[in-house]
Chains A and B, each alone.
Chain A
Amino acid sequence: MDDLPSPLVVEILSRLTDSTDLARCRLVSKTLNFLSHEVGSVNLFCSLSRYLKSRSPETKAHVTPFKAAFNNLVRKTRSLNSISIGVDKSLRNISFDDVDDELDDLYLTDAGFVKEWLPKICGELRKLSISDFWIQSCWRKSEVLSLISSCCNGLMELELKNAWLSVDGLNPMTRLTNLTLEFIRLDDEDLNKVNDCFPSLRVLNLVGVGGLKDPKIRLLHLKSCLWTVSNAPLSLTIFAPNLVKLRLKCIKPKSLVLDTPLLSDFHLSVEEAYGFRVKEFCNLENLRLETSSLHSLLGIFPSGKSIKKLTVDTLKWTEALETRKIGLEALFDVFPNVISLNLGPGAWSEAENCFQKGGLEDRNTMKELTEIVAHLVVYDIEVTLSFIYSILDNCTNLSDMALLLHPKEDSRAASSLISRCTTYRPRVKWRWGMWKEGSKDA
């Protein structure tokens, strides 16, 4: 049997996601050793077991330091285009008390460590990802951004996690199109340096980035953005004329300014939005809203005539809030052209509540609706049923209805609900399922 040709072998070796396997292949034969150095990507993660062995007195003499292992891997590769180094997610559970935190053997965003290998191999590097060990990195400010920006001219994707980053000496990186910062303490209060030095970004992910005060994103080429803000900065501004997709999760910013005319897919999760300033969304088609006060958010939301697919839910709906409740008609006043509607349990309860008090006003706009997905919370099956019937009567073009029940619901009541609905409007395509907090719908 002939051996596989070299290009195929390299292709296979490139698919070994853990470079530890790749290193072992070097012992197989001289040819495989040679070919292993053709593999353009290095992925090395410190597992929990390796970490524990390096700390335990019996085994630590036999464990090569992680940084040395990485250096060995990187040294002989001919043209590296992707590097991924980090600590396993399992190490996140280690508490500060268990650790002697003077060590820096897993401090990976240490500019001194990165300087040992990056300048030599950065010529063809297109992708770099460093997931640091929070216990060793959170109290050490790293200058690694300055280093990366000065030598990696061709870098296109950069991902940094669990670190404290300084932006001093950050040089422009005009080829960078993807930037991900996750659990980072960033010394760039208003994101000025980020905007200035990464002008070509297409994708920006800021997850749990702290140290921001009045952050403004000003990126002309940005197409997709994910921003989750855990603390409450004073204001959030996004100026991105080409932005198409935005996922924004924040708590109570004093002001929220969005200048994103091409936005078509928007997922907004906000407890309360006071000063929400938005130029009209002419291109918005998909909107997903999660908020604690739907009423006030709808009040300041600009006209949503373009939205075809709408998902709405209320956060913390189990708490009784004094805020006014939103009925289904009010939703259609703001979003008259919705074709597909998805109501989370909080939104459903609010709407059902309003219906109970005053029925469902007929709206011409509901006739456009063809599909509904609803997460039901059943207090009184008769009320729920009459609400559903009322919706069916008003939404004459409805062809698809999916009702999801919580597993806690009485199963007899559930089957009675199912059979009565299907009898009432058999020409609708009914789908049934379950929903539960924190997990995906079934």
Chain B
Amino acid sequence: MSTATGKTKKITLRTADNQEFEVDEAIAMEFGTVKTFFDENPDASEEPIPLPNVSSKCLSTIIEYCKSHLAFRAHDSSSSVEDEAKAYDEDLVKAQDNESLKEVILAANYLNIKGMLDMLNQAVADRIKNKSVEYVRRFFGIENDYSPEEEAEIRAQNEWAFQGVDPDDD
């Protein structure tokens, strides 16, 4: 915790591309993996913590998210702060293209940041809602591994889901 002089403790994180980020302890503790590490090693040295699965671009997005949400939570819970937090999340997601969104999800998953991961997963679900099969394939980067006959059979079984309003093609 804080030292006698009241200075907040800083923790250094090293990303996959060898960049070092110094963050307040409070922010680093939002990362489940970091928190567990310190819980199990209370006398851990001041060495930077390696995060081999996280790029610097992802980490800076994640750090910004945690900083902002810590600030939101420090305010009295009121509906206007909730709206602000929602707007922040929406803007963050909007700024990511499909590839970077996946990267951030993988990073949030690896770092075990539940709140952010839930928010991101919901954002992906919202993005593929009401979209064509092709769009979903492109988004997840999945190859169609059905043979034409197999595909026709699955389609016939689920034909009802394609009736009604046509999904947007994006």
Q: Report which A residues bind B (CB closer than 8 A).
A: 1-5, 8-9, 11-13, 15-18, 20-21, 23-33, 47, 49-50, 53, 62-64, 68-69, 72
Once the chains bind, are B154 and A47 in contact (CB under 8 Å)?
no
Sample (8) of A-B pairs whose CB atoms are under 8 Å apart: A1-B99, A12-B121, A15-B122, A16-B125, A25-B133, A63-B163, A69-B160, A72-B160
Which residue on A lies nearest to B144, using beta carbons? A29
Task: Given A16-B128, A26-B158, answer yes or no on A9-B151 (Cβ-Cβ < 8 Å).
Answer: no
Tell me which residues from 131 to 162 in chain B have a Cβ below 8 Å from any Cβ of chain A.
133, 136-137, 140-146, 150-151, 154-155, 157-162
User: B8 interface residue, CB < 8 Å from A?
Assistant: no
Interface residue B165 (Cβ < 8 Å from any Cβ of A): yes
Task: Indicate if B94 sits at the interface (CB-CB under 8 A).
Answer: no
> A29-B146, A53-B164 known; A72 and B137 CB under 8 Å?
no
Q: Which of B99-127 contact A (CB under 8 A)?
A: 99, 102-103, 105-106, 109, 121-122, 124-125
Residues of B within 8 A of A15 (CB): 121-122, 124-125
Are A49 and B164 in contact (CB-based, < 8 A)?
A: yes
How far, in whole Å, are A8 and B114 apart by their CA atoms in the complex?
12
- Asked if B158 contacts A72 (CB within 8 A), the reply is yes
* B contact residues, total (Cβ < 8 Å): 37
B105, B109, B137: the one contacting A28 at CB < 8 Å is B137
Q: Is A24 in contact with B105, judged by CB distance below 8 angstroms?
A: no
Q: Which residue of B lies closest to A76 (CB)?
A: B157
B130 within 8 A of A: yes
Inter-subunit contact B142/A28 (CB<8 Å) = yes
Query: Given the complex of chains A and B, what is the CA–CA distance between A69 and B164 in angstroms?
Result: 13
Chain B contacts for A8, CB-based, 8 A: 105-106, 109, 121
Q: Residues of B contacting A16 with CB < 8 Å?
A: 125, 128-129
Given contacts A15-B124, A32-B142, 20 further A-B contacts (CB under 8 A): A1-B99, A1-B102, A3-B142, A5-B109, A11-B121, A13-B125, A18-B129, A20-B161, A21-B128, A23-B158, A24-B167, A25-B133, A25-B136, A28-B133, A28-B137, A29-B146, A32-B140, A47-B165, A49-B164, A50-B164
Chain A residue with Cβ nearest B124: A12
What is the minimal beta-carbon distance from B132 to any residue of chain A, in angstroms? 8
Residues of A within 8 A of B151 (CB): 27
Query: Is the pair B136, A31 in contact by a Cβ cutoff of 8 Å?
Result: no
* Chain B window 47-90, contacts with chain A (Cβ cutoff 8 Å), 1 for yes, 0 for no: 00000000000000000000000000000000000000000000
Contact call B164/A26, Cβ cutoff below 8 A:
no
Complex alpha-carbon distance, A262 and B7, angstroms: 47
A contact residues around B99 at 8 Å (CB): 1
- Give the Cβ gap from B80 to chain A, nearest Cβ, in Å: 12
Q: Which residues of A contact B137 (CB under 8 A)?
A: 28-29
Which residues on A sit within 8 Å (CB–CB) of B109?
A: 5, 8
Could you tell me the distance in whole angstroms from the C-beta of A45 to the nearest C-beta in chain B? 12
Determine the distance from Cα of A50 to Cα of B162 in the docked complex, in whole angstroms.
11
